[in-house]
Structure 1
Amino acid sequence: MAGQAALADSTTDIVDALVMKGVLTEEEGKLINKGHTSKTKVAPVVKEKDGAFILESANEANSIQLTGRMHLDYRASSLDSMDLGPAARGDDRDTASMADQFELRRARLGVKGKFAKDFKYEVVGNLPGTATVDIAYFDWAKYDAFQIRGGKFKQPFGLEELISSNNMTMMERSYLDQTVPAKKIGLQVMGTPTKGMTYALSTYQNNDVERDLVGDGYASGAGRLTFNFAESMGDKESVLHLGVAGLSATSSAQPTTTSQTSGSADGSSSYGRANINAFRSAGRGLNNIFRGQIGGGACTTATYSCPLEFGAKVVQNAVGLEGIFARGPFKIMGEYSRSKYEADHNGGQGTGSTNVSYDTDTFYAEAGYFITGEKYADSYKNGVFSSFKPKNNFDLDKGELGAIELAFRVEGFRVEDTNLGPSGLGSRLQGSLDGSGTTNGTKSKADTYTAGIRWILNPNVVFKVNYAYTSLGRNYAPLDVSTWAGSSSSGAAVVGSESLFMTRFQYMF
């Protein structure tokens, strides 16, 4: 853009000098300058920002920018060397999650920009494995106070979820994030009606491709309202953020028949079951430290003898509270959410129905401090933290380190008020439980403590180190080495805690 302006100025200066020396008449000079100006007004302009290049029309009404990210993780688990006994399965996702491993956590490419001045768009694809659409949406963004979004995007529930994975302090989000809708297809209205305030209200469906007769469509919705008191008072050194959110979601849970989802508590019969929800230990550690399933009674080869063949309807209602206090290089951030899950299968021509319900409480509190002096308020925008820029980018020759943040987080989940409905139909709870997986009133919980370092070398390169310790409410055997939660197979190890050491190298533009 600067080059375009310099070229325009130099050309005009040359023409004016030729007019002054009498080489050109004034009329000829005006004609040449007019022709040159008309060309520069239509030529596209290339801009650069934080290592990303943007191609923009001369009238600034249209633009396109290539975006991308790559997160390479290494994870070492304290459970990797445990003897799981003869019943363990090395190909199972539950015990495979205990292994030390490298993981290409994210690899994405996308484009974003604007068109016709008042519309914005973004399309991002996931590359690892089978390529999928991560997000794809457009905004009508003429006014700050009222905007409309349509497509696949993050739903307005959960402060952590709405902060980009590029900009999170820790490597992974908390247990609370395992209960939010995340990225779904739908419509949303949103805006910043006054300084410091944001709102968003959406309606969405739970499956990208609608397949279910019951449970999806546009029966789900979420909303969020936030206010930053510091911003409203003009305080640029602080963040004083409070927010509330709610959701009501209806989805269909499909039955599965793997060795981990079939089988009664005593192993005497086979059931068809569908998952309601589950928790994985913090840091993407051990899978299914809690899982709720709805059953449909014993399945046989007879047609329609297992009602769960028709799927199950799961309803989640949740409320959330969130807050941020930040002053200069110090912050405290936290959230609390309570969800109620209720499930019943669709019946169809089956032999009856079963209902399962329980409540989950999830929470975290996180403290952070930039020892290099960066201010959290500089990265706060529209109710979330966006990208951080170091005061000085990493440069060994100049002795600059970039930005270094120290952090600590406490988090947990609780499952209470469990009701498994009629007995003998196969519904159950699994994982770390304080009672039988088929008994009403059984509870589950876990607490995790994570210490972390985030080293921001420059706006494009970040290195993270996390150590997480998880304490389960009760010991249990991983699901694939036990017939059901609460028991252990011959020779199986019993898990009561887990430690994870994790690193991440990430690049983004």
Structure 2
Amino acid sequence: MNLNKKLAVAVSGAVLLMAGQVALADSTTDIVDALVMKGVLTEEEGKLINKGHTSKTKVTPVVKEKDGAFILESANEANSISLTGRMHLDYRASSLDAMDLGPSARGDDRDSASMADQFELRRARLGVKGKFAKDFKYEVVGNLPGTATLDIAYVDFAKFDAFQIRAGKFKQPFGLEELISSNNMTMMERSYLDQTVPGKKIGVQVMGAPAKGLTYALSTFQNNDVERDIHGDGYASGAGRFTFNFAESMGDKESVMHVGLAGLSSTYSIAPSTTSQTTGAAESTTSRASINAFRSAGRGLANIFRGQIGGGACTTADYSCPIEYGAKVVQQAAGLEGIFARGPFKIMGEMSRGQYKAEHNAGTNVQYDTDTFYAEAGYFITGEKYANSYKNGVFSSFKPNNNFDLDKGDLGAIELAFRIEGFRVEDTNLGASGLGSRLQGTLDGSGTANGTKSKADTYTAGIRWILNPNVIVKMNYAYTNLGRNYAPIDITGSTAIVSSEQLFMTRLQYMF
């Protein structure tokens, strides 16, 4: 072989071997075959180059791009990893200010501080997700603002569509709205119903889609995510959800006709403590633990209702407190959900009825029922179809028909929406001995009397502008009617009563 031919063989081989990392194997083989046919390479040399290229492509990872995110995947497609993230920057302007609570409103009190106009970095998260050994999937996400915390961390055995297992920290299967990612919600904030769901907890879940249109999920979990609670973690907590999409079962790709049922039973412990943001000797020496609370829609007024149980707090220097210093809470709830969507129009809603029972060994007990609901209508004026983003019982990411591009005159996707929501607290019972237990907020009568009630209704109008799969702008206006008037919590000397609240909110959202 002469020098020029040897040089041609060497250069061709080097180029083709490097190209093999980014080119398709079939294309490389075609090029080598063409060089053999032209006599530039012998058949033996062609086979040698193809062999080297094939062995290289079998082990070289592949980089893929999807909706602005990059995925690194093994050549055999059995393993992958990708970086995920989101940033939600909000601005919120309230019709109220501290003076609505009178001159005694305290700046260090979180309830009166919730009235302030403010910017908020609502979410900033970074994580990884992917698969390994072909049949296993995983995701780990951390919260970045303030002290870094773990948002979710789980691994799935996902070999079969009909039966999968999940273990770790994840969203429990109760509440349609909760199971839709914050990236994909129509409104900026979830409804009152979401304030009664377990959310993200550590546990184990079985789930699947055994038939077309049908999904199920059953989980058991613990309420205390960080440290074991000797008084509470032994209790059983569980949730379940079943959904069926009639449109999917009939092969209708233009519509969503979804119904769902969910149930929740959770038992856990809470520890009373003395409050640090109240005035007056009586307040500062009373020990209580919060059972649950409601905040007005759009992250407005905090604690427009709060249920608390009184009891002794641990005050010994060595913390050698007996078990009676803990209170047991039992929460039970049932939920009904539905979606009807056709083309660019949707109606979605949920309702839930629940009960809270709290008992303290010192002799106190509290019980009350909650009803929560919302109904939401949406319409894409740019023509996107809701059915395109519906998958396994929830809405996933929405993609514009045309991404925002000023040069082409494309605006992205624009959705108009309206939601009505509310909560009710009824059938309240503080037991025979109060010992500091109380119900606070929008109440009929005294917060320490049996039979008191609480309610609120909120009406929200919103615009969601999806520029592309990575950038979204939202604007919401919410009006809340505090049906039985809001009385300031733990602020002595104030006689102010707040009957309504208006919020204007905007969000810049980026995710990948």
Same fold (TM over 0.5): yes
- Aligned partner of 1:142 among 159, 163, 167: 159
Name the CA distance, whole Å, in 1 between partners of 2:312 and 2:165.
45
Q: 1:302 to 1:31 in 2, by over 3 A?
A: closer
Instruction: Render the CA deviation track for 1:169-227: whole Å, top value 9, x for unaligned.
Output: 00000000000000000000000000101000000000112332222246100000000
Name the structure 2 match of 1:448: 458
- In structure 1, the partner of 2:286 is 271
Aligned equivalents of 2:207 and 2:313: distance in 1? 47
Other structure's SS at 1:275 match: strand
Correspondence for 1:156: 173
2:4 maps to none
Query: Of 334, 337, 355, which aligns to 1:340?
Result: 355
Instruction: Please list every run of at least 4 consecutive aligned residues from structure 1 whose deviation after the TM superposition is greater than 4 angstroms.
Output: 2-5, 259-264, 297-309
Q: Report the CA distance between 1:311 and its aligned residue.
A: 1.7
Separation in 2, partners of 1:92, 1:378: 45
State yes or no: 1:411 paired with 2:414.
no
Alpha-carbon contact 2:459-2:480 (below 8 Å) kept = yes
Alignment partners' CA distance in 2, 1:9 and 1:146? 37
1:316-395 equivalent positions in 2, closer than 5 A: 316-345=331-360, 347=361, 352-395=362-405
Q: Is the 8 A contact 1:273 1:308 kept in 2?
A: no
Contact 1:108 1:126 in 2 (8 A): yes
Matched residue, 1:485: none
1:19 to partner: Cα distance: 2.2
Per the TM alignment, residue 130 of structure 1 is displaced from its structure 2 partner at its CA by 0.2
Change (3 A) 1:442 1:269: same
Structure 1: gaps of 5 or more residues: 483-488
C-alpha distance in 2 between matches for 1:53 and 1:218? 42
Q: 1:97 aligns with which of 111, 114, 122?
A: 114
Q: Distance in 2 between matches of 1:209 and 1:299?
A: 20
Match of 2:127 in 1: 110
Taking the TM superposition and a 5 Å limit, the aligned residue runs for 1:479-490 are 479-482=489-492, 489-490=493-494
1:419, distance to aligned residue in structure 2 (A)? 0.7
| SS of 1:479 mapped into structure 2 | coil
Please state if 1:38 is matched with 2:48: no
Is 1:180–2:197 an aligned residue pair? yes
Separation in 2 of the partners of 1:207 and 1:238? Answer: 40
Identity %: 86
Q: Distance in 2 between matches of 1:196 and 1:52?
A: 29
Q: CA deviation at 1:5?
A: 6.2
Shift of 1:299: 9.6
Q: CA deviation at 1:435?
A: 1.2
Tell whether the 8 Å contact from 1:297 to 1:426 is kept in structure 2 after alignment.
Answer: no
C-alpha change, 1:357 and 1:3, in structure 2 (3 Å) is farther
What is the DSSP-based 3-state SS (H/G/I as helix, E as strand, rest coil) of the residue aligned with 1:87?
coil
Measured in 1, the distance between the counterparts of 2:30 and 2:315 equals 89
Whether contact under 8 Å (1:112, 1:123) holds in the other structure is yes
TM normalised by structure 1 equals 0.92
2:136 maps to which residue? 119
Decide whether aligned partners of structure 1 residues 79 and 307 sit closer, same or farther in structure 2, where only a CA change above 3 A counts.
farther
Partners of 2:363 and 2:318 lie apart in 1 by: 16
Structure 1 CA distance, aligned partners of 2:435 and 2:27?
83
Letter in 2 for 1:138: V
Residue 297 of structure 1: how far off its partner (Å): 6.5
How many residue pairs get aligned? The number is 494
Name 2:477's counterpart in structure 1. 467
CA displacement, residues 142-192 of structure 1 (integer Å, 9 cap, x when unaligned): 000000000000000000000000000000000000000000000000000
Contact 2:428 2:453 in 1 (8 A): yes
**Separation in structure 1 between the aligned mates of residue 356 and residue 317 of structure 2, nearest angstrom:** 31
The alignment partner of 1:481 has SS state of coil
Partners in 2 of 1:118 and 1:223 — Cα distance?
A: 24
Aligned counterparts of 1:115 and 1:303: Cα–Cα separation in 2: 47
Q: Cα 1:28–1:297, aligned 2, differ >3 Å: closer, same or farther?
A: closer
TM-aligned CA distance change 1:366 to 1:230, over 3 Å = same
**Aligned position for 2:87:** 70
Q: Displacement of 1:385 after TM fit? A: 0.3
Instruction: For residue 82 of structure 1, give the secondary structure of its aligned residue in structure 2.
Output: helix
Q: 1:500 aligns with which of 472, 479, 503?
A: 503
TM-score (structure 2 length as normaliser)? 0.92
Contact 2:364-2:434 at 8 Å conserved across structures = no
Counterpart position of 1:313: 328
Q: What secondary structure sits across from 1:19 in the alignment? A: helix
CA root-mean-square deviation: 2.3
Secondary structure of the residue that 1:128 maps to in structure 2?
coil
Q: Retained in 2: the 8 A contact 1:210–1:216?
A: no
Q: 2:247 aligns with which of 217, 230, 236?
A: 230
Q: Deviations over 1:322-350 (max 9, x none)?
A: 000000000000000011100012x3xxx
Query: Following the alignment from structure 1 to structure 2, what is the Cα–Cα distance between the partners of residues 183 and 125?
Result: 13
